[in-house]
Every structure is written in structure tokens, then in C-alpha cells.
Structure 1
Amino acid sequence: MFVVTLKFADNKARAGELIDGHKAWIQQGFDNGLFLMVGSLPPNQGGGILAHNATRADLEAFVQKDPFVAEQVVTAEILEITPARLDDRLEFLAA
């Protein structure tokens, strides 16, 4: 399981022109079964993603395809978490 943070960077002003591509990239993450949740990092810091069902290398490659990452609107950090204990509703993350 992974937590991806996308924090605004030097080219934050370009977000408006790249937002459609960023939204399409997010949708592709959900369509591919990679993303479980996407949300904002308040106050206006960027976004966060909960991802699973991929290797770290595959996730890193996918994150690089985000127009926000490619154009340095955000910087991405990927944290890998190996679940040690899960609520029953999240057992699918242990696989």
C-alpha cells in the first residue's frame, strides 16, 4: 500500500492550464484499480492519494505521467506502508 503526496511546487501557477490532464490521469488511476482515494491537502498544499495493487516501480512510473508532476506543478513523494494490522474492512490491502 502506498501514500502519495503531491505538494505544490514552483510552477503552481500552471495548474489551471494542466488541470484537465491531471484529472484524466487521476481517472486512469481509478480505472486501473490503482487508486483507492484521492483528496486535498489543506490548506491549499496539494493532494494526497492512497494507492495499492502495484509495485513501487510501477507506481513511480505512473506518477511521472501526471502532467502536474511532469511540468513541476507539484513534487511527488511516495511512502510505502506494509500493513501490520488492519480493520476487517481493509483486509484486501494485506494481499
Structure 2
Amino acid sequence: MESRMHPQQGFRSCIGIISLGKSYTQERLEAACSRALAIGSPSYKSIRAILEKGLDRLPPQKEGPQQTSFITHSNIRGREYYQSNEEGEKTYADSSNN
């Protein structure tokens, strides 16, 4: 409700979340709400989707940085290819193209 300009706008979302308790158990609803808070999306739509997809039954995701794998390809030159000289001009490792 705090994310709305007027608190009254959040009442319908709250009522909708509470009404999900008619279709799902209190434990599942609590787990879905906890998961929605953890991912930063505590909205009726998110909580309903979590319940519908059964994500509330899965263990919580581990927090921490995700490793990004970089693509290795012959067309990707990398930072070694581009070198700057003292004047800030770009010099290229393969000078035959200049």
C-alpha cells in the first residue's frame, strides 16, 4: 500500500491477496508472499503467478552474484585488440587494416 500515491489504491490489492487464501492454503500463501518480497515484486499479480506455477513450493533461491559467461568467437576481438596511446588515440593490434 505504501507504493501507491493514495493508500486507498492499495486496498484492492490487499483484498485480492487475502482472497487467494480461499483457493490456496495459508502456508502456501505465506510462502508465495515471502518469495514475492524476496524478488522485490510484492504485488497481487506476482503472488498469484507464484502460486499458479507452484514456485512457493520450491526452496528459496540462493543469493549471491551470478556468474556471467562471455562468448568466445573469432569475431570478438577483446580489449587487447584496442589499445590507447598517450594522446588518447586508438591504436589497433592489426595495423594492416589502416
TM-score by length of 1: 0.29
Relative to its length, the structure with more strand (as a share) is 1
TM-score by length of 2: 0.29
Structure number with greater CO (CA < 8 Å, separation at least 6) is 1
